[in-house]
């Protein structure tokens, strides 16, 4: 049985599609629906946020303004080429 919420819009459920779903279910593979390019999942987020959180870890702030100022200070101290480490560069 293929549930309707699993099927992408404008997809025809035929024998090969159903067989593929059965193979996937037998392997207990969960398919996470997300677009191939999602600006919320950009590689720089995986590098930038941990680098931002390291100096701020275990600190308490008296107000939201103090927290924002501390985060801005950390961001201003990043090297200009620091974000280049977030991407895997290949030469053409």
Q: What percent of the chain has pLDDT over 70?
A: 64
**Strands (DSSP E) found in the chain:** none
The per-residue pLDDT for 34 is: 63
User: Which pLDDT band holds residue 12 (cuts at 50, 70, 90)?
Assistant: confident
Cα→Cα distances 91→16, 21, 30, 33, 82, Å: 39, 38, 35, 32, 19
The per-residue pLDDT for 65 is: 95
User: Which pLDDT band holds residue 31 (cuts at 50, 70, 90)?
Assistant: low
State whether the Cα torsion 72-73-75-76 is positive or negative.
positive
The larger pLDDT score, comparing residue 13 to residue 56, is at 56
Q: Round the average pLDDT of the chain to a whole number and report it.
A: 77
Rounded Cα–Cα distance for residues 12 and 17 (Å): 8
């Amino acid at each position: 049985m293929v549930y309707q919420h699993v099927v992408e819009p404008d997809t025809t459920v035929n024998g090969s599609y159903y067989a593929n779903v059965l193979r996937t279910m037998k392997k207990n593979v969960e398919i996470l629906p997300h677009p191939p390019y999602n600006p919320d999942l950009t590689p720089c987020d995986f590098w930038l946020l941990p680098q931002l959180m390291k100096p701020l870890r275990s600190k308490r702030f008296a107000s939201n303004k103090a927290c924002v100022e501390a985060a801005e200070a950390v961001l201003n101290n990043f090297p200009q080429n620091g974000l280049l480490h977030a991407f895997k560069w290949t030469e053409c």
